[in-house]
């Protein structure tokens, strides 16, 4: 019998003995480190202990891999760069036994998607792992390079979502080393346009198909923390766009608000926007105005991100345009909000008319469900077994829309399995490196357990 040493709990001692029998820990000091890091590790199987050891042993490899990905620009519209990052992922996944396919999306004016499929024994849960190759940083951005500073790494996409892809690869490599990948049915779907999606009917068609195949969807966008505590995401809100167009009588400014002249287009668009602020609020619903313009003329550009307006101080504005987004937790909430918005638009000020258009190509919501909560409970069992704090449910208002929402109506899902980061979508985006390894361990053990659950 091996004595685990003074101060070790019986469960930690048993974990150390099991690890030493596996030949995973070359010295007693390493055994002590493992037992103190995972005080409840007696609940872990031998392969699960092996996965933990593999993630730790490959930390520097994982960070170096992430750095190479970050140094390759893959702004959404840099099609060659997105494909280059896809090729880097292919080089990681094919040696693990995945059959890798590139789905070209020239028809949607986007680079494409990388899809990797691993065929298991067909008996366990089918898993869909979702991440994305692209970033918001195009080649003309001054923010282009990976820089490591101790436990932090700065660079374009370091967290969103190249850090998430690093978690995927680290977890799958750990499963391969432990022998649990062999029987797992897994599809890795890495989109090339998550940050600026093409027409979703084309751009998300194959992802929707993959969702219908799967039993579980796991999204590897960033981990969100609340007061330093890792949180689990069982819901994500939608992302829809709206455009208001206002027409009104023009004329001399001296006649404003008279029966003949009316209030003008700018006052009308202001009334509508302020009515949204006062009348729409409810939990989990937000609505932002991101672009507005008006005057004697107001023309929305074809790219829908610019307005050309003309006007003078002594002319009543005859045209106005406003654009914004709408984020909700369920299709029912979307429908309710849109109905209220239409009603507000339908009661114009004198002399004005207004219309509102909702863009059809938005991101759907991922509503919180009991099945999603059950997945979080499984993850929390993993947390207990490896000695990590349980993860509470994250308020969906605290994160944006994501690709997992396109499959949410067809499959149970869990989001936020990527690493913790800060400053996403802005120069200085920084990933917390230790969280990559923490998330990889959670994911590897969770996926290995799901692969053993009967469909």
Q: Look at residue 147 and give its three-state secondary structure.
A: strand
Q: What pLDDT score was predicted for residue 39?
A: 46
Locus of tokens 């990388």: 114
d(CA 286, CA 308): 27
Listed in sequence order, the DSSP H helices in 197-312 are 200-203, 205-213, 265-279
Domains delineated in the chain:
59-236+364-452 (3.40.630.10), 240-358 (3.30.70.360)
Number of H helices and number of E strands within the chain? 12, 21
pTM for the predicted model, two decimal places: 0.85
Q: What pLDDT score was predicted for residue 366?
A: 95
d(CA 383, CA 389): 6
Q: Look at residue 317 and give its three-state secondary structure.
A: coil
Contacts of 450 (CB under 8 A, 6+ apart): 124, 125, 127, 216, 378
d(CA 168, CA 436): 9
What is the helix (H) or strand (E) element at residue 344, kind and residue range? helix 331-345
Angle between helix 46-57 and helix 433-452 axes, rounded to 10 deg: 150
Q: What are phi and psi of 39, to 5 degrees?
A: -65, -20
* Cα maximum dimension of the chain: 98
Q: What pLDDT score was predicted for residue 303?
A: 87
Q: Specify the DSSP class assigned to residue 43.
A: G
Ranges of residues in the chain with a pLDDT under 70 are 1-42
- Strands 240-248 and 251-252, bridge-based pairing: unpaired
> Which pair of tokens denotes residue 258?
């008279």
Q: What pLDDT score was predicted for residue 360?
A: 75
Q: What pLDDT score was predicted for residue 181?
A: 98
> CB–CB of 311/297 below 8 Å?
yes
d(CA 226, CA 296): 48
* C-alpha closest to that of 356 among 334, 338, 329: 338
Q: What pLDDT score was predicted for residue 14?
A: 45
Query: DSSP letters of 66-132?
Result: HHHHHHS--BTT-HHHHHHHHHHHHHHHGGGT-EEEEEE-GGGTS-EEEEEEE---SSB-EEEEEEE
CB-CB neighbours of 91 under 10 Å? 11
Locus of tokens 């028809």: 107
């Amino acid at each position: 019998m091996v004595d685990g040493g003074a101060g070790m709990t019986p469960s930690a001692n048993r974990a150390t003995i099991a690890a030493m029998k596996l030949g995973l820990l070359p010295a007693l000091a390493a055994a002590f480190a493992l037992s103190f890091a995972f005080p409840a590790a007696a609940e872990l199987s031998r392969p699960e202990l092996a996965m933990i050891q593999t993630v730790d042993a490959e930390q520097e490899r994982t960070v170096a891999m992430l750095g190479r990905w970050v140094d390759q620009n893959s702004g959404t519209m840099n099609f060659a760069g997105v494909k280059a990052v896809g090729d880097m992922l292919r080089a990681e996944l094919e040696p693990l036994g995945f059959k890798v396919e590139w789905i070209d999306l020239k028809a949607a004016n986007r680079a494409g998607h990388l899809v990797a499929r691993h065929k298991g024994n067909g008996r366990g849960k089918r898993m869909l792992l979702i991440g994305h190759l692209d970033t918001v940083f195009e080649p003309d951005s001054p923010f282009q390079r990976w820089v490591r500073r101790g436990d932090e790494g700065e660079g374009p996409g370091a967290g969103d979502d190249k850090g998430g892809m690093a978690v995927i690869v680290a977890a799958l490599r750990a499963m391969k080393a432990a022998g649990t990948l062999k029987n797992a049915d897994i599809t890795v779907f890495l989109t090339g346009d998550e940050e600026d999606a093409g027409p979703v009917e084309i751009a998300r068609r194959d992802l929707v198909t993959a969702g219908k195949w799967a039993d579980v969807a796991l999204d590897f966008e960033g981990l969100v923390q609340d007061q330093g505590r890792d949180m689990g995401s069982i819901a994500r809100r939608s992302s829809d766009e709206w455009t208001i167009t206002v027409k009104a009588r023009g004329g001399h400014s001296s006649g404003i608000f008279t029966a003949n002249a009316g209030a003008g287009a700018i006052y009308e668009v202001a009334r509508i926007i302020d009515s949204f602020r006062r009348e729409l609020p409810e939990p989990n619903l937000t609505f932002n105005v991101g672009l507005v313009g008006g005057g004697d003329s107001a023309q929305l550009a074809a790219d829908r991100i610019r307005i050309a307006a003309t006007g003078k101080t002594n002319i009543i504005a005859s045209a106005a345009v406003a654009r914004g987004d709408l984020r909700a937790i369920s299709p029912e909430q979307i429908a309710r909000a849109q109905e209220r918005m239409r009603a507000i638009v339908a009661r114009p000020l004198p002399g004005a008319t207004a219309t509102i258009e909702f863009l059809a190509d938005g991101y759907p919501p991922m509503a919180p469900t009991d099945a999603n909560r059950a997945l979080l409970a499984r993850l929390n069992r993993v947390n207990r077994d490896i000695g990590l704090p349980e993860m509470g449910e994250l308020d969906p208002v605290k994160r944006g829309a994501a690709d997992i929402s396109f499959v949410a109506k067809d499959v149970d899902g869990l989001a936020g399995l990527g690493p913790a980061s800060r400053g996403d979508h802005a120069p200085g985006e920084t990933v917390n490196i230790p969280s990559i390894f923490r998330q990889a361990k959670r994911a590897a053990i969770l996926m290995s357990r799901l692969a053993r659950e009967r469909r």
